[in-house]
Amino acid sequence: MMEERGLSIAHTTIMRWVHQYSPELDGASTAHLKPTMIVEPWLTV
């Protein structure tokens, strides 16, 4: 994907970015999510 844009980046650089920024992205994404409650109705026939 980066080569399509004219950038030559080693796979290790991408791995470093993933390891460095994934905790920040995970924390930011979970902060905006609202807890949802799943209700499963049970019918007895």
For the segment 1-45, what is each residue's pLDDT rounded down to a tens digit? 677 888 888 888 888 988 888 888 777 666 666 666 666 777 666
Predicted confidence at residue 19, as pLDDT, reads 87
pTM greater than the 0.75 cutoff: no
First to last CA, the chain: 55
For the chain, which residues make up each domain, given as ranges? 1-45
pLDDT of amino acid 36: 64
Residue 20 C-beta-side C-alpha neighbours within 13 Å: 6
